[in-house]
A = this chain, B = another copy of it.
Amino acid sequence: MTTGMNEIMIDLQGGAKAPLYQKIYDHLKKEITCGAISKGTRIPSTRLLAKQLMVSRSTVEMAYEQLLAEGYIKSEACRGFFVCDITELYQLEGKQNKSEGLNADFTSEPVWGKETAKKLPDCYADFSPDAIDTEHFPYNVWRKLNKDVWLDDREELLLSGEGQGDERLRNVIAQYLYQARGVNCHASQIILGAGNEYLEILLAQVLGTKKKILMEDPTYLQAYHTFCNLGFQVETILGSDKGIEIESVHEIQPDAIYIMPSHQFPLGTVMPQKARLELLNWANEKEGRYLIEDDHDSEFRYRGKPIPSLQSFDRNGKVIYLGTFSKSIAPSLRVSYMVLPLELLREYRRKCGFYSTTVPKMQQEVLRKFIEEGHFGRHLNRMRAIYKAKHDFITAELKKYKWVKRVSGDHAGLHVLIEVDTNLTEQELCEQARKAGIKINGISEYYIHKQEERCNPVILLGYGKLDNEKIKEGLKLLNEVVETAD
């Protein structure tokens, strides 16, 4: 039996000077701690509390996130937030009274903003660029393969197997990469790992963490933070449709350059052949220089010839190739792959050869069968058609609105970029859109170094997860936000 409460009175004006979310957090924590709000009680939704307190919803969300993280409340799907049993929690908190320590999370940069955002409750249309279509997942095939794998009592399913991942799986991946992306490699050069970040962690150990790495800005911030965490010196260069200009590379003198030549994230640009060759030449000029090619979503290209990977042009073992099944199959799979040039492979074996694989054996088996039996090829073709239809639909819909000043980064991947003609700032636009029930991300969120305010906001519209109805209605809601503001 649970009790609910619909109103919480919090004095946000009085008391010490502190951010609003902290006051909300402090108040709720105190009430829970002293038993005023008891275990099992449902507390108001973030929407409701924000309305009552007349603060923005994200303010309440931040307070709730922290309470969630510390175990004071828990979230139940479709039901809301409930107060936890804190008796056990309590005896652990000897240090929690030091309020400086307690608020450390808030004052620092919330690099994991997107992670926590995932937990947000109700939202009509989620335009996140990393959301995939889950409706057309081949559940039946997957179910059957799972069953097949466990058909016999096979001991090998219980042993972790080869450190780089099973050879048979690496073989089919090598074949796939050659056919689909022109990647030249032998299975022995492939290392499987539980996600790109894990492989980047291995790569950092292989290259040595004292190196200087160059990245485009904006970029995948996860890769950026991973490299920083491991001690790399990261230099950045503003991303453009010209790719990386070689003059800047000569100036910065990095040891390695992280790029997404086939489809830059989040800009959606394709690196021109000239820039590719210049980068390869630069790498060839000196020993120890490498290009890290993250080929994250190259499976989905809707116009023109497939763009071969940079690795396919590499004759001197200068390109480290990274790819993932997160978008082509499912993020939950946690399987990525890294192709190492032979020289680095030797270094990998020397420094990292002792690591067991991070991919469970049973998962490897199901994935191998999925590729080997032709399901993966069929799935890719099917999903490409589905995503293309969504892509064509959203670009057609966007033409209806005069505030859509420019659409870019299209013809590939799972999102488009649009420049919005409005008086709102990017942040205001995203916030108000969220209040209206649609989740959009501004391009600024993907910059390592915050840029000066632009004239017009640029936002990412991911369509992977949405059907036509949601795309259409979502854009209508966005239209209302823009029209109301101007």
Contact = CB atoms under 8 A, between A and B. Distances in A.
Contacts of A155: 134-135
Interface string A174-192: 0000100000111111000
Interface string A209-251: 1000000000001100110011100000000000000000000
B363 A71 contact: no
Contacts of A349: 69, 105, 112
A157 B96 CA distance: 35
A342 B161 contact: no
Contacts of A356: 115, 195, 197, 331, 334
B184 A91 contact: yes
Interface residues of A, number: 94
A116 to B, nearest CB: 8
Interface string A84-119: 000011011111100001001100111110111001
Given A153-B139, A358-B195, A187 B334 contact: no
A186 B71 contact: yes
Interface of A: 68-71, 74, 88-89, 91-96, 101, 104-105, 108-112, 114-116, 119, 132, 134-135, 137, 139, 142-143, 146-147, 150, 153, 155, 157-163, 167, 178, 184-189, 194-195, 197-198, 201, 205, 209, 221-222, 225-226, 229-231, 315-317, 326, 330-334, 342-343, 346-347, 349-363
Nearest to A68: B188
B184 A92 contact: yes
A350 B330 CA distance: 26
A327 to B, nearest CB: 11
